[in-house]
Amino acid sequence: MKIYIDGKYYAEKAAKISVFDHGLLYGDGVFEGIRAYNHRIFKLEEHIARLYDSAKAILLEIPMSPTRLMRAVSRTCWLNRVRDGYIRLVVTRGFGNLGLNPFNCKRPTIVIIAGKIELYPPRMYRRGLDMITVPTARMPPSALNPAIKSLNYLNNVLAKIEAIRGGVLEAVMLNTQGYVAECTGDNLFIVHGGQIFTPPISAGALRGITRQVVIELAREHLGVEVQESNLTRHDIFTADECFLTGTGAEIIPGVKLDGRVIGTGKPGEITRRLMRAFRDLTMQEGYPIRP
């Protein structure tokens, strides 16, 4: 595997950054997870735009233009012979000292890894996920806005630990008001009465790119209305269907929450139609992988 670090490529074992990098010391940085399908990088422009938005929000100036960065992502995929894969693009505050002051870091560090990812076993896409609600609340926007895709993911990691300790692979996180925010790394949708509902960004949900793709697919290809609405656990318990979306997860059904079966306990018709539509779209669109 060839890994991009600040304009150069390194073998996996030689790919290193300083222990004084503030991304390691303080989680000070931003990232994107991106998918490649059929020799194309899906929604690359949108991912890059979100990366720059996240960086702007934390006063981190990325030392490359968006165009150059997209080319670097594409070349990294090409060097690693990626046809269908996963890309992790990371920008840290860079090398500094042991103090918290980010302005002591002279230049950000840029890392691009192109490989594979499997968040859930393939059978879960056919059968659906069991989930639990965890006590760890989603961090409120007043503390760390979820629109910033930062390297500080400990809030999500704690929820993931609680899910696994609870015997499942995924958890629903509530916000401090008790409304559904998102899952540990995915946006959440429910289907009720032929309509689709999802928590608003203001509830603590990430501005998911796959989330937006699914909203557009539902409206334009399925003719199903999507509403952003505050949701409670009760809304999930009584839903006809439930599914999660994310770059790594793609679209995966949720069939049980806290011991309550959702709908029939199997992936629903609207969920399955969206999964097919999403798969078709990913095979057709994207930024070409090239040297």
Q: Flag whether the pTM goes above 0.85.
A: yes
Tens of pLDDT along 72-129? 999 999 999 999 999 999 999 999 999 999 999 999 999 999 999 998 999 999 999 9
In a domain, 9, yes or no: yes
Q: pLDDT band for position 243 (50/70/90)?
A: very high
**Mean pLDDT computed over 190-218:** 96
Please indicate, yes or no, whether residues 230 and 244 belong to a single structural domain of this protein.
yes
- pLDDT for res 146: 87
Please indicate, yes or no, whether residues 108 and 224 belong to a single structural domain of this protein.
no
Q: Would you give the end-to-end CA distance of the chain in angstroms?
A: 16
Please indicate, yes or no, whether residues 12 and 38 belong to a single structural domain of this protein.
yes
Domain interval for residue 98: 2-117
CA pair distance 240, 218, nearest whole angstrom: 16
Q: Which are the catalytic amino acids?
A: 149
What sign does the CA torsion over 267, 270, 275, 280 have?
Answer: positive
Alpha helices, DSSP H, located in 128-221 = 154-165, 209-217
CA pair distance 67, 172, nearest whole angstrom: 36
- CA distances to 29, 267, 269 from 89, rounded to whole Å, are 11, 32, 34
Please indicate, yes or no, whether residues 275 and 131 belong to a single structural domain of this protein.
yes
Pairing state of beta strands 85-92 and 40-41? unpaired
Please indicate, yes or no, whether residues 69 and 163 belong to a single structural domain of this protein.
no
DSSP 164: H
From the list 279, 273, 229, 230, the residue with the least C-alpha distance to 250 is: 279
CATH classification of the domain holding 222:
3.20.10.10
Beta bridge pairs of residue 170: 131
In a domain, 291, yes or no: no
CATH classification of the domain holding 44:
3.30.470.10
